[in-house]
Amino acid sequence: MAEFSLTINGKKQSLDLDPDTPLLWVLRDHLKLVGTKYGCGIAQCGACTVHFNGSAVRSCQLPVSSAAGNEITTIEGLSENGDHPVQKAWLEHDVPQCGYCQAGQIMSASALLNRNPNPSDSEIENAMNGNICRCGTYTRIKAAIKTASDSQLA
Amino acid sequence: MTKVKTGIGRRSFIKSVSIAGGGLIIGFNWMACKKATEEGGKEMAMQMPDEWFELNGYLKIGDNGVVTIYSPNPEIGQNVKTSMPMIVAEELDVDWNNVIVEQAPLNTDIFTRQLAGGSQSIRQGWESLRTAGATARQMLLTAAANQWEVPVSELSVENGIIKHANSENSMGYGEIAKAAAQVEVPEEVELKDNDSFKIIGTSRKNVDAKKIVTGQPLYGIDVDKEGMLIAMMVQPPAFGMQLKTMNAEKIKEMPGIVDVFTIDTYPEDMEKEWSDVTAFSKLAVIVGESTWQVMKAKKALEIEWELKPDLVEQIQILEKSAAMEDTSGLESSKLHASLMAEIGSKKAEVVRKDGDPEKAFKNAARVIERSYTCPFLAHNCMEPMNFYANVSGGKAELLGPIQTPEYAEKSVNKRLGLALEDIDVQMTRMGGGFGRRLYGNFLVEAAVISDKLGKPVKLIYTREDDMSNGVYRPAYHVAYRAALDGNNKLTALHVNAGGIPESPLFANRFPAGAIDNYLAESWTLESNISVGAFRAPRSNFIAGAEQSFLDELAEEMGQDPIQFRLDMLKRAETDPVGENNDYDAARYAGVLELVRDKSGWSNGSSSLSRGVSAYYCHNSYVAQILDMSVKNNQPLIDKVTCAVDCGIVVNPDAAKNMVEGGTIDGIGHALYSEITFEDGVPQQHNFDTYRLIRHSEAPKKIDVHFVENGIDPTGLGEPPFPPIMGALANALYKATGQRFYDQPYINQLNGKQTELKT
């Protein structure tokens, strides 16, 4: 066990944990931020995607020791009132079916738009290829990303 | 208007009266004992009433006119949590913006068929949901008429406001709800005509959408309760094995670990429900304070496994059926392939026979014969199996994702000997179902673990557990034979279908009824690999195989594949062959004509490779045309056009979403997914080896068109899934010149031998 200082959604907090504890379980078990989902545990499905200094990472593969001292944003911290352009676009297109993977999809999409405000179809596909949706909402996700992109550029 | 008896509304009311007569107003005790569960997304912006009035088990009205509607059926992503309350709200005549939706817990006194399966929620709930809304509306109108001392017939209502035309009196539902709750439940109520629907047939957003996109707790895996421990299980690595010994004591010393023990979920003498499916009844269990600590302990646990004693019998079955000399009983896909090919070429049980197929084949100028296979599949709900259980003091609190709460309650009743009324089952929103959560072994396991500990626990499967736990889509095999005469006319069709351990045959579906001489045979092979329903069971294979074969036949006969099907359907409509034909030929043809017209099929202008398919299942008809190309052996799917006849569409945009998703899901499984076995061990354990379709592989565009016919609604969650596999195979043929007979098709594109083909 060791003491780690984490900045999650702009809030600093200290936790006493095994250094190898993945950020995913720190968020879910210890900080009760359950919007970040467990899907595979091996960085293959993207359900656990969070922002690490603004970039999309899989929190199931990020030990708390590496997360410490960096800016972490989860779905709960993406916007104050659920009104991030990507969230708004998701609501407009009524994207979710079961909804379980959607937080991870939204975090990947918002990280993409952070670095590339006007992505092409293939850039969207490349950025989103690590996020699996068994319900098959892919075409709506792509449409929502384009809407969010348009609204940010407008 | 249609008059209906208010049987369901009355039953819940009668219960309330009878218990109220005993001095307690707990007719809706499930509401009173309701914990702070997940409400709809809209109420945050809504002013909450000071007092609620329950008019029947489906709804309550607040003194300010806000209405809570309980969605009875489990929500697995099919969007019933929005569409079922829409149906109630329609007949209640309330403003949808004033409606809060809550997931109802299991209550068999009030609700019928609280089950997510068979695409039946809307179809079977249609009348009771409408009746519940109409009954409450009638009670509100009666109470208003009493207050104003005017006849009910002079009142009208719109958006929850009651008006009296002659006096210009008006009032909101909230003002009269208290009085309405005292009104006797009418024995008969009138339902609206379809053309006066204001909510049904209009697109309404998912009531949980805001919570989903902001990451609020909604799912079973998100459940967090005071004193709750985390439990995980270790199952045998192979089907056919069981636990012998383990180093439990050493593991108990690990940090955060509370206990390590074994459970027997389903003892041999327990009478099981149909939903109690598992190949692994005896499990090692680790309980601890946090998930990661339990995961680490799980990895450190050393277990010695042994062959199951009943495997001896299993081996005999396998040996007898295949005359194999070296079957270990730990099954492999190679063994399955040889068994299916051998048995699939023999005579089997005749399920249907029309005309004289033997004679027709004997006299045939040409016989075309093809066989098709598909592998086992894991459901892979994105939310792995999990459940919260708190069993103590003779009561059980169960909370989590389950498609069959009623059967799960019965299982816990039998397993733990608790009375049904002491078992409280509540459903969370589910991160996918697809049939997997019809089988509540994980719920029973959680209950047994909590009972053993005397503490609340949340059982969580890892993805590897989830993918290796069985309850798979079965592996299937089908052989088709067609007899053509000297004029290249189809004279007979023979289908011989089977699988491990069930047959995919639907003997009375099309093309039965359209061919003079028809023979359908069925066979099965036993296995110790557990299986279960998987989105559109059986149809999810046979549709693609049949539609591929018809495509090949049409080509052999020099006919357009759509016109070929339409001609057969015309025959089935005007002069059907045989009895018990299980489809409406005109509706079947309707979706084919619609997809043909919407896709521009006839003008032949598409530069891409096109494949068509149509299928009927779950009371609905779907036709699809898929446009694609293949570059460097990689399939690129440009567009899918879908035509769907599921009767009245309650929530059109959400329904489109479902069709889009079912289409992508079907393409993905037919192209990429398989579970294979070596020595009983599933060879895919996680998404690095098990392929699900990804963003870049999905169609660029999906067009969805619904037939508008005003018929009461039928299934939608499953019907778009099976036929697309045929459209895909047929388009792949156009793109490559090769026919695709074995799923997943990607193996053939990659030049890889499919495990299930000998």
Structural domains of chain A in order of their starting residue, each with its CATH number:
2-77 (3.10.20.30), 85-153 (1.10.150.120)
**Helices (H), ranges, B373-462:** 405-416, 441-453
- Determine, for residues A37 and B383 on separate chains, whether the beta-carbon distance falls below 8 Å: yes
Question: What sign results for the dihedral spanned by CA atoms B167, B170, B176, B177?
Answer: positive
- What Å distances lie between residue B2 and A25, B131, B194, B324, B536, CA to CA? 55, 11, 10, 63, 33
CA distances from B554 to B130, B492, B569 (A): 45, 14, 14
Question: Distances from the Cα of B576 to the Cαs of A1, B115, B570, B582, in angstroms?
Answer: 75, 35, 9, 11
B531 DSSP β-pair partners:
B472
Averaged pLDDT of chain B: 91
What's the rounded Cα separation, in Å, for the pair B349 and B521?
Answer: 5
pLDDT category, B603, cuts 50, 70, 90? confident
Between CA B716 and CA B637, with CA B479 as vertex, the angle to 5 degrees is 50
pLDDT at B310: 63
Domains B2-213 and B475-749 share a fold: yes
pLDDT of B19: 30
Residue B192 makes CB contacts below 8 A (sequence gap 6+) with B1, B90, B91, B130, B134
- Of A127-131, A149-153, B263-267, B707-711, the range with the lowest mean pLDDT is A149-153
> What is the model's pLDDT at position B616?
98
Q: Which residues of B touch A122 (CB under 8 A)?
A: 696
Q: For residue A154, what pLDDT band results from cuts at 50, 70 and 90?
A: confident
Inform me whether the pLDDT recorded for B18 exceeds 50.
no
Taking each helix axis from N to C end, the angle separating B723-736 and B539-556, rounded to the nearest 10 degrees, works out to: 40
Interface mutation target, options A64, A126, A135, chain B, most CBs of B under 10 Å: A135
What residues contact B532, with CB distance under 8 A and at least 6 apart?
Answer: B277, B435, B436, B438, B439, B471, B472, B473
Which chain A positions have a beta carbon within 8 Å of B671's beta carbon?
none
What pLDDT does residue B45 have?
54
CB-nearest to B665 from A96, A136, A139 is A136
The domain defined by B220-309+385-460 folds into Aldehyde Oxidoreductase; domain 4 (3.30.365)
pLDDT one-digit tens code per residue, B168-200: 899 999 999 999 999 999 999 999 999 999 999
Inter-chain CB proximity A99 and B205 less than 8 Å: no
Cβ-Cβ contacts under 8 Å between A and B: the total is 188
User: Which chain A residues are within 8 Å of B212, Cβ to Cβ?
Assistant: 96, 99, 102-103
- Residue B258: predicted pLDDT: 98
Confidence of residue B112 (pLDDT cuts 50, 70, 90): confident
Determine the Cα–Cα distance for residues A147 and B681; give it in Å rounded to an integer.
45
Which of B82, B203, B214 to mutate to probe the A interface, most A CBs <10 Å?
A: B214
Nearest to B516 by CA among B586, B555, B582, B572: B572
Q: Using CA atoms, how far apart are residues B382 and B466, in angstroms rounded to an integer?
A: 10
Residue in B with minimal Cα distance to A45: B687
Phi-psi region of A136 (alpha: psi -120 to 50; beta: other; left: phi over 0): left
Q: What is the CATH number of domain B475-749?
A: 3.30.365.10
**What are the φ/ψ torsions at residue B387 (nearest 5 degrees)?**
-165, 145
Q: CA-to-CA distance for B173 and B178, rounded, in angstroms?
A: 9
| CA-to-CA dists, residue B342 to B138, B320, B321, B335, B339, angstroms | 64, 13, 9, 11, 5
Q: How far apart are CA A134 and CA A76, in angstroms?
A: 23
State the average pLDDT over residues A35-49.
Answer: 98
CB-CB neighbors (< 8 A) of B652 in chain A: none
| Nearest residue in A to B75, CA atom | A98
Q: B479: closest CA among B505, B510, B445, B449?
A: B505
Contact state of A139 with B255 under an 8 Å Cβ cutoff: no
What are the distances in angstroms from CA B209 to CA A100, A131, B15, B212, B663?
11, 19, 35, 5, 22
User: What's the CA gap between B480 and B478, in Å, rounded?
Assistant: 7
- Are B695 and A124 inside 8 Å of each other by CB? yes
Q: Which of A39, A47, A91 sits opposite B213 (nearest CB)?
A: A91
Topology given in CATH for the domain delimited by B2-213:
Aldehyde Oxidoreductase; domain 4 (3.30.365)
Calculate the alpha carbon distances from B279 to B377, B569, B677 in Å: 16, 43, 15
Least Cα distance to B434 among B115, B76, B719 occurs for B76
Q: How far apart, in whole angstroms, are the C-alpha atoms of residue B392 and residue B405?
A: 20
B633: left (phi over 0), alpha (psi -120 to 50) or beta: left
Is there a cis peptide before residue B537, judged by omega within 30 degrees of 0? Answer: no
A111: distance to nearest CA of chain B, Å? 15
Q: How far is CA B578 from CA B480, B513, B517, B617, in A?
A: 19, 6, 10, 20
Q: Which residue has the higher pLDDT, B440 or B607?
A: B440
B653–A94 CB contact, under 8 Å:
yes
Rounded to an integer, the average pLDDT of B655-669 is 98
**Higher pLDDT, residue B509 or B312:** B509
pLDDT of residue B27: 25
Rounded mean pLDDT, B603-628: 93
Nearest to B674 by CA among B585, B745, B744: B744
**Closest chain B residue to A97, measured at CA:** B77
CA distance B521 to chain A (A): 34
CA pair distance B476, B484, nearest whole angstrom = 26
User: If pLDDT is split at 50, 70 and 90, which confidence band does B331 have?
Assistant: very high
* pLDDT surpassing 70 at residue B501: yes
CB contact under 8 A, A98 and B654: no
Q: Which chain B residue's Cα is nearest to A32?
A: B224
Q: Cβ–Cβ of A91/B209 closer than 8 Å? A: yes
- Contact list in A for residue B205 (CB cut-off 8 A) is 91, 94
Are B500 and B529 in contact by the 8 Å Cβ rule? The answer is yes
List pLDDT tens digits, range B691-734: 999 999 999 999 999 999 999 999 999 999 999 999 999 999 99
Q: Is B700 exposed, middle or buried (0-12, 13-18, 19+ CB in 10 A)?
A: middle
Residues of B in contact with A135 (CB under 8 A): 77, 382, 432, 661, 665
Q: Residue B320 half-sphere exposure, CB side, CA atoms within 13 Å?
A: 8
Average pLDDT over residues B71-75: 94
Contact assignment for A82 to B701 by CB distance below 8 Å:
no
On the 0-12 / 13-18 / 19+ scale of CB atoms within 10 A, B356 is: middle
Query: Which chain B positions have a beta carbon within 8 Å of A38's beta carbon?
Result: 221, 291, 384, 460
Tell if the CB–CB gap between A97 and B701 is shorter than 8 Å: no
- Which chain A residues have a beta carbon less than 8 Å from that of B690? none
Nearest-CB residue to A99 (from B77, B295, B380): B77
Q: Is B170 exposed, middle or buried (0-12, 13-18, 19+ CB in 10 A)?
A: middle
pLDDT at B311: 54
Contact B457, B228 (CB under 8 A): yes
Roughly what angle, to the nearest 10 degrees, separates helices A121-128 and A102-115?
Answer: 130
Interchain pair B664, A124: CB under 8 A: no
Q: What is the distance between the alpha carbons of residues B347 and B523, in angstroms, rounded to a whole number?
A: 9
Tokens 């998100």 sit on residue: B222
Does pLDDT of B523 surpass 80?
yes
Residues sharing a CB contact under 8 Å with residue B253, sequence separation 6 or more, in sequence order: none
Work out the minimum CA distance from B385 to partner chain A, whole angstroms. 11
Considering only CB atoms, which chain B residues are within 8 Å of A106? 213
Is the model more confident about B27 or about B223?
A: B223
Cis omega (within 30 of 0) on the bond before B217?
no
Report CA torsion sign: B247, B253, B255, B261: positive
> What does pLDDT average to over chain A?
97
- Nearest-by-Cβ selection for A82 from B210, B222, B292: B210
Under the banding of pLDDT at 50, 70 and 90, the label for residue B591 is very high
Say which residues have a Cβ less than 8 Å from residue B393's Cβ, sequence separation at least 6.
none
In the block, residue with structure tokens 């909804």: A99
Percent with pLDDT over 70 in chain B: 91
Q: Where are the domains of chain B?
A: 2-213, 220-309+385-460, 475-749
Q: Do the beta carbons of residue B513 and residue B572 sit within 8 Å?
A: yes
3-state helix, strand, coil in chain A (%, to 5): 40, 20, 40
Helix count (H) and strand count (E) of chain B? Answer: 20, 29
* Residue B700 confidence (pLDDT): 98
Q: How confident is the model at residue B72 (pLDDT cuts 50, 70, 90)?
A: very high
Q: Across-strand partners of B101?
A: B69
Cβ–Cβ < 8 Å for B606, B627: yes
pLDDT of residue B30: 26
Residue of B320 and B517 predicted with greater confidence: B517
**For residues B594 and B8, which has the higher predicted lDDT (pLDDT)?**
B594
Note whether B376 and B472 are within 8 A (CB): yes
Which value does ipTM take for this structure?
0.99
Q: Name which of B460, B462, B695 is nearest A129 (Cβ-Cβ).
A: B695
| Interval B119-171: pLDDT, tens | 999 999 999 999 999 999 999 999 999 999 999 999 999 999 999 988 989 99
> What is d(CA B409, CA B425) in angstroms, rounded to the nearest whole number?
7
Tell me: pLDDT of B317 over 70. Answer: no
Average pLDDT over residues B400-428: 97
Residue B757 has a pLDDT of 57
Burial class (CB in 10 A: 0-12, 13-18, 19+), B502: middle
Model confidence at B40, pLDDT cuts 50, 70, 90, reads very low
Please give the Cα distance from B734 to B666 (Å, whole number): 19
- Please give, rounded to a whole number of angstroms, the shortest distance from the CA of A60 to a CA of chain B: 10
Of the partner residues A29, A106, A137, the one whose CB lies closest to the CB of residue B291: A29
| B8: pLDDT strictly greater than 50 | no
